[in-house]
Amino acid sequence: MQFLTDILAPIIINSSNEIEDINIIINMKPATTRKTALILIDVQNAFLHPTAFGDLAKRSTPKCEKNIEMLLKQAREYNEKLPAASISSSVLICHVQHHSINPNSLLHPIKQIEVDGKSLPAVQPQKFAAPRFNERVWIKDVNSAFVGTGLENFLRNNDVRQLVIFGLTTDHCVSTSTRMANNLRIVDIVKNGALVDEGDIVLVGDACATFAKGGIDAETIHQVNLASLDEEFAQVRETMDVIKTVFVKV
């Protein structure tokens, strides 16, 4: 019977003999029990350009910005409500920004972009995702958030055991950073070549977005990349699931 139960999951029959769907087991942990860091990737003005990275009007995940804003808000409120005795359980909010070394790239520090009638640095974070004074910023010039930034050492030195990753773009810097976080075993405990305790990497799928390319629409590219990462490199979850599980009231 146990074998059949495993095969039939995630379907059960409730007391009314109706079939219900059960979500897969959510492995992510409350921040109160596992040191957690948010990794916000490349939410910069350059990606507001109507055509530079693809057709902005046809970008995936229309609610991406709203979800990013909610995640930041919940993490900040969680930290503010922590009692002094529990400060070690605070969530680290890490902002990663791309500064290209290619002067032709819109993500080069010299580039400007018009936003709401104002000329602003293209590498500047979008207003809703701007870091607070006590939140660290890491600057990269390649796809990975962990190459040449010091972010990996920062996370290890702070004994981070759970990452919550989101931002732009799904198939480029988000995917690369997620894969490398997994391969570097940043949140795992390894002793004598053996995995002692596996940490958690959570990729917030509906707080990421990308653009169409190669004749493939943006939403398809977004979903295929999430599917490739899910349960291999990370746990792909949605914003509300993360908020309800990670940022529990203290």
For residue 206, what is the domain's CATH number? 3.40.50.850
217 — phi, psi (to 5°)?
A: -70, 155
Task: Give the model's pLDDT for residue 179.
Answer: 99
Q: Which domain holds residue 241?
A: 25-246
Residue 102 lies in a domain: yes
Residues of the chain with pLDDT under 70: 1-26, 85, 249-250
- Please give the pLDDT value at position 2: 36
Residue that is written with structure tokens 């390894």 in the block:
190
Q: By three-state DSSP, how is residue 62 classified?
A: coil
CA nearest 113: which of 210, 56, 55, 48? 48
In this structure, is residue 20 part of a structural domain?
no
Residue 61's Cα: distance from chain center in Å?
14
Question: How many independent structural domains does the chain possess?
Answer: 1
**Predicted TM-score (pTM) of this structure:** 0.89
In 3D space, the residue among 173, 243, 170, 232 whose CA is nearest the CA of residue 201 turns out to be 232
In a domain, 161, yes or no: yes
pLDDT (0 to 100) of residue 13: 37
Domain-embedded: residue 181: yes
Please check whether residue 65 lies inside any domain of the structure: yes
pLDDT of residue 250: 57
pLDDT recorded at residue 26: 59
Q: Decide if 57 is inside a domain.
A: yes
**Within a domain: 178:** yes
What does the pLDDT read at residue 8? 35
Q: Which tokens is 56 given?
A: 């902005």
Domain assignment of residue 89, yes or no: yes
CB 167 within 8 A of CB 207: yes
